[in-house]
A and B are shown apart, each in its own frame.
Chain A
Amino acid sequence: MTSLYDEVQAPPAEGVPTRRVTIKVNGADRTVDVEPRLLLAHLLRQGLKLTGTHSGCDSSNCGACVILFDGRPIKSCTMLAVQADGHSLETVEGLASASELHPIQEGFKEEHGLQCGFCTPGMMLAAKALLEVNDDPTEDEIRWALSGNLCRCTGYQNIVKSVLWAAKKMRAEAN
Chain B
Amino acid sequence: MYPSRFGYEAPKTIDEAIAILDKYAGEAKVLSGGQSLIPVIKLRFAAPEMLVDINGIPGLDYNRVDPDGSIHIGALCRHEDLENNELMEKHAPTIAAAAPLVSDPIVRTRGTFVGSVCHADPQGDWAATMTAMGGHIVAQGPNGTREIAMNDFVIGPFQNTLAYNEIAIEAVIPAPKGVRVGSYLKLERRVGDFATASVAVSLEMNGETVIGAGIALASVGGRTIDATAAAQSLVGNKITPELIAEVAAAVAATAEPRTDHRGSSDYKRQIVKTFVTRILTGLATTSQKAA
- Which residues of A pack against B, CB within 8 Å? 5, 7-8, 16-17, 19, 35-37, 39, 58-61, 63, 66, 72-75, 78-80, 82-83, 85, 126, 144-149
Contacts and interface: CB of A to CB of B under 8 A. Distances in A.
- Interface of B, helix, strand, loop or mixed by DSSP: loop
Given A145-B105, A148-B191, A59 B39 contact: yes
B104 A78 contact: no
Contacts of B104: 63, 147-148
A35 B34 contact: no
A75 B106 contact: yes
A85 B8 CA distance: 12
Interface string B1-33: 111111110100000000000000000000100
A37 B192 contact: no
Contacts of B105: 73, 126, 144-148
B106 A82 contact: no
B8 A61 contact: no
Interface residues of B, number: 28
B107 A60 contact: yes
| Interface of A, helix, strand, loop or mixed by DSSP | loop
14 contacts: A17-B7, A35-B5, A36-B8, A37-B3, A58-B42, A59-B39, A63-B106, A72-B109, A78-B38, A83-B55, A126-B106, A144-B105, A145-B105, A148-B191
A36 B105 CA distance: 26
A36 to B, nearest CB: 4
B39 A60 contact: yes
B53 interface: yes
A70 to B, nearest CB: 10
A36 B1 contact: no
